[in-house]
Amino acid sequence: MNAIEIRNLTKNFGQKQALNGLNMTVPQGAIYGFIGENGSGKSTTEKLICGLLVPNGGTIKLFGKDYKDADVRAKIGVLIEQPGCFSNYSVWNNMMLQAANLGIKNAEEEVRKVLKTVRMEGSASNKFKNCSLGMKQRIGIAMALLGNPALLVLDEPINGLDADGMRIMREVLIDISDSYNCTVVISSHVLGELEKIATHYGIVRGGKMIAEMTAEELNNNCRTYVALKTKNPSAAKALLGRKFTRVETDENEYIRIYDTVKPEAVVEYLYNELNAVVTEIRTDKISLEEYYIDLMKGGRADNEIKA
Amino acid sequence: MKSKHKKYDFMKSLKSMLKVDFKRMFTMPLVYIMAGVSFFLPVLILVMTTMTGGNSSDGAANGEAAMQTFTNVWQSISSLSGTQMSMDLTGMCNVNMLYFLVAVFVCIFVAEDFRSGYAKNLFTVRSKKLDYVISKSLAGFAGGAIMIIAYFVGAIIGGAVAGLSFDVGAAGASGIVACMFSKIFMTAVFASIALLLGTVAKQKLWLSILGSLAAGMLLFTMIPMITPLDSSFLNVIMCLSGGALFGLGLGAVSNLILNKTSLV
């Protein structure tokens, strides 16, 4: 049984169509990286899953049941945009309020446990309004974790954090996936971070899911390329561009050849044709970010979902 | 790790919602500010108007309308039945003013859920909104009752300080007690109106307050007739049923709105 199964979901805000027949499948236990540009429909989809918006069409099933089912909804933990906290309350009081909302027995013990999970046990007495952005995001995750949810929906929890905040958040998310045994849907623009934790991916564009894949499939889809440096890069690039179908220069001035080719053959070819000496050469795979940019430019993933 | 979530149980859900709302109500300054205002309002009115002398013959001699002031403490609670609602100090400055305060209190209480984002936490785990509506209605009613009682205490203290008469007169002690209960039950009407407008306006606090005050103005002239100082058991029952009917009817509409509209 899938944790989330969405079919032909549509949502309009007045004349604007936010979701246009979106399909989404999230297997149980997955950490689902939900990727898309601003306004592509990520947050709208997450709000619909959580019942905070009313869809115009389509179906949403959570753990095989309709998303409105009261039993299923009680299993969701959510952090959408900002955490829902009262700014004048302390972290502890906000947490206790959410524990009361969920009807959790042994609330104090449970709150202590989730605060420890998000590395916030020492800041429980702080007023929420005095917490930093990173702390607020972790408080939001702690709230979402109360009651051991079966599904955790996190909307861009990494965005806006500094390097240290991102590191802590990554550790927290890995801890959660290890010890809470829940399905996590996490949307983010920070693809480098997402790549380190996600087991599945969904890429949305213009309110439609354009690709869904596992991390393994993504790994296979991310093409291998040969990156090299020579002393005469412009001539080398022009020569290689005539022989291979896709040759580009990256931000570090490496010439990248995306065709399937052995590095030794490239070295030999450049030497024979241009008398150019290759100073550095390696093979690598494109990152999630590069794959995503490719896809957004109009490139088509192997497992792109057909409308 | 085993999930602690059990099967949905309306009573348990309502209980947890009530716990949240009452905990919130008594931990936020708003309820104490409102209760404080309700307490000091009659003290100030009674003491200040008595100090200015009221019913001044000097003013009348100069062709100005004389200001009718309080001669009896219970005038600040309500007027006797059969008397027309006067548009002077004694007619306007009584416990009925608090209904507007109750509406503002409920509007702020509801809007704060949406403004803080707490509504996301609430409604993600609660697909059924009825417990929220019932809980908010009861909390609003309780808050209103606190304000009415605070006003009553303030009126007695203010009256004592101002040296006004405590003579129950034609109303009788039982009439005044029945009047107070009627007034308390009437808060349910205003709380449910404010709740309905709060669910419509969501985070737009100004809209819900404006709507509640406008709706309150329509009912304002009827309140003295329903809750006179010499109220009987019938008035209490009438206000109780009115509060319950408004609570149920407008509560059902609020529930429908929450179910059919976007919550963020």
Residue A208's DSSP bridge partners are A205
Domain that holds residue A20: 2-214
pLDDT given at position A302: 44
Q: Looking at the structure, do residues A264 and A144 belong to the same domain, yes or no?
A: no
Contact by Cβ (8 Å): A191, A241: no
Q: Looking at the structure, do residues A132 and A251 belong to the same domain, yes or no?
A: no
Which residue of A53, A86, A110, A137 is the best one to mutate when testing the B interface, meaning the one whose CB has the most B CBs within 10 A?
A86
Query: Which of these ranges, A43-57, A127-141, A165-179, has the smallest mean pLDDT?
Result: A165-179
What is the crossing angle of helices B233-260 and B130-162, to 10°? 140
The pLDDT-based confidence of A250 (bands split at 50, 70, 90) is confident
To the nearest 10°, report the CA torsion of A110, A116, A122, A127: -60
Taking contacts as CB-CB distances below 8 angstroms, the residues of chain A near B135 are none
Which residue of B1, B5, B32 is the best one to mutate when testing the A interface, meaning the one whose CB has the most A CBs within 10 A?
B5
CA–CA separation, B81 vs A289, rounded Å? 77
Contact state of B3 with A149 under an 8 Å Cβ cutoff: yes
The pLDDT-based confidence of A245 (bands split at 50, 70, 90) is confident
pLDDT given at position B68: 63
Contact state of A103 with B16 under an 8 Å Cβ cutoff: yes
Contact state of B126 with A143 under an 8 Å Cβ cutoff: no
Query: Which residue of A82, A85, A93 is in closest CB contact with B27?
Result: A93
Q: Looking at the structure, do residues A83 and A179 belong to the same domain, yes or no?
A: yes
Distance between B18 CA and the closest CA of chain A, angstroms:
9
Distance between B30 CA and the closest CA of chain A, angstroms:
12
Q: Looking at the structure, do residues A129 and A32 belong to the same domain, yes or no?
A: yes
Establish if A304 belongs to a structural domain. no
Q: Looking at the structure, do residues A158 and A233 belong to the same domain, yes or no?
A: no
What is the rounded average pLDDT of the residues A3-29? Answer: 95
Q: Tell me which residue of B250, B151, B258, B116 sits closest to B191, measured CA to CA.
A: B250
Query: Which tops the pLDDT comparison, A174 or A16?
Result: A16
Residue A131's DSSP bridge partners are none
Q: Tell me which residue of B76, B94, B227, B85 sits closest to B164, measured CA to CA.
A: B76
Taking contacts as CB-CB distances below 8 angstroms, the residues of chain B near A18 are none
Written as six digits, the tokens of B207 are 């809209």
Distance between A76 CA and the closest CA of chain B, angstroms:
6
Distance between B24 CA and the closest CA of chain A, angstroms:
8
Nearest residue of B to residue A53 by CA position?
B262
Distance between A137 CA and the closest CA of chain B, angstroms:
13
Residue showing tokens 């169509």: A17
Nearest residue of B to residue A106 by CA position?
B4
Establish if A306 belongs to a structural domain. no
The pLDDT-based confidence of A95 (bands split at 50, 70, 90) is very high
Written as six digits, the tokens of A242 are 């005539």
Strand order, beta sheet including A16-27: A16-27, A2-13, A57-62, A65-66
Establish if A261 belongs to a structural domain. yes
Establish if A84 belongs to a structural domain. yes
Q: Looking at the structure, do residues A177 and A151 belong to the same domain, yes or no?
A: yes
Nearest residue of A to residue B1 by CA position?
A180
Q: Looking at the structure, do residues A26 and A70 belong to the same domain, yes or no?
A: yes
- How many inter-chain contacts (A to B, CB under 8 Å) are there? 113
Residue A274 belongs to domain with CATH number:
3.30.70
Per-residue pLDDT of chain B (264 residues; tens, 9 = 90+): 444 456 778 888 898 899 889 988 998 889 999 999 999 999 998 888 777 655 544 444 454 555 567 888 888 888 877 665 555 666 667 888 899 999 999 999 999 999 998 888 889 888 789 999 999 999 999 999 999 999 999 999 999 998 888 888 888 899 999 999 999 999 999 999 999 999 999 999 999 999 999 998 888 778 888 888 888 999 999 999 999 999 999 999 999 999 999 888
Query: Which tops the pLDDT comparison, B49 or A118?
Result: A118
pLDDT given at position B59: 45
Query: Which residue of B1, B27, B118 is in closest CB contact with A148?
Result: B1
Establish if A293 belongs to a structural domain. no
Identify the contact set of chain B against chain A, taking CB-CB distances under 8 A.
1-5, 7-8, 12-13, 15-17, 19-20, 23-24, 27-28, 112, 116-128, 260-264
Which range scores top for mean pLDDT: A55-64, A144-153, B168-177, B214-223? A55-64
Taking contacts as CB-CB distances below 8 angstroms, the residues of chain B near A98 are 121
Residue A86 belongs to domain with CATH number:
3.40.50.300
Taking contacts as CB-CB distances below 8 angstroms, the residues of chain A near B256 are none
Contact state of A85 with B116 under an 8 Å Cβ cutoff: yes
Average per-residue pLDDT for chain A: 88
Cβ-count burial of B163 within 10 angstroms (0-12 exposed, 13-18 middle, 19+ buried)? exposed
Taking contacts as CB-CB distances below 8 angstroms, the residues of chain B near A180 are 1
Establish if A303 belongs to a structural domain. no
Domain count along chain A? 2
Establish if A307 belongs to a structural domain. no
Q: Looking at the structure, do residues A127 and A263 belong to the same domain, yes or no?
A: no
Q: Looking at the structure, do residues A197 and A235 belong to the same domain, yes or no?
A: no
Q: Looking at the structure, do residues A131 and A76 belong to the same domain, yes or no?
A: yes
Q: Looking at the structure, do residues A12 and A59 belong to the same domain, yes or no?
A: yes
Query: Which residue of B8, B24, B127 is in closest CB contact with A97?
Result: B24
pLDDT given at position A102: 86
Establish if A298 belongs to a structural domain. no
What is the rounded average pLDDT of the residues A262-282? Answer: 88
Prediction pTM value: 0.81
